[in-house]
Structures are given as structure tokens and as C-alpha cells.
Amino acid sequence: MPLLLSTLGHHSEPGDPVLIDWLLHLFQSLVALGPLAIVIVLGAFIVAIPVVIMAAFLTQRAKYNS
């Protein structure tokens, strides 16, 4: 456990602010969408994963119960 906690001593923040800022600018230049559009797309993706898993489960269950 001390090995995992030793990485927290490098910065006072959880992440390097310069690196995070650079990554955000790079992502925004590649995607060219507004922040709200990115939140909507990522939110839809996060919600779609369990929905697809549940649909596959129910489809397989119906196929084997018949």
C-alpha cells in the first residue's frame, strides 16, 4: 500500500495541471465540439454500455428458455 500512496507526493493536485491543460486543449482541437456536446456524447456512451449488456443478456436468456 505505501507504494501506491508514494505517487501522491509528486504534486499537491491529483494531476499535473500543465499536462491536464495541454491534454484538454489537444482533445478540444481534435474533436472540435463544445463542452456540452462532449458531455452529452460521453453521457450517452456511459448509459449505452449497461443497456447493451442488459439487452444481450435478455436476448440470450429468451433464446435459451424457448
Amino acid 63 reads K
Q: Residue 61 belongs to what domain range?
A: 2-65
Cβ density class 14-48: b for 16+ within 10 Å, e for less: eeeeeeeeeeeeeeeeeeeeeeeeeeeeeeeeeee
Q: How far apart are CA 33 and CA 27, in angstroms?
A: 9
Residue 7 in this model has a pLDDT that exceeds 80: no
**Total domains, the chain:** 1
- Per-residue pLDDT tens over the stretch 19-54: 888 988 888 888 888 888 888 988 999 999 999 999
Residue 12: pLDDT band with limits 50, 70, 90: low
Q: Give residues with Cβ within 8 angstroms of 33, minimum separation 6.
A: 41
Q: How far apart are CA 39 and CA 48, in angstroms?
A: 14
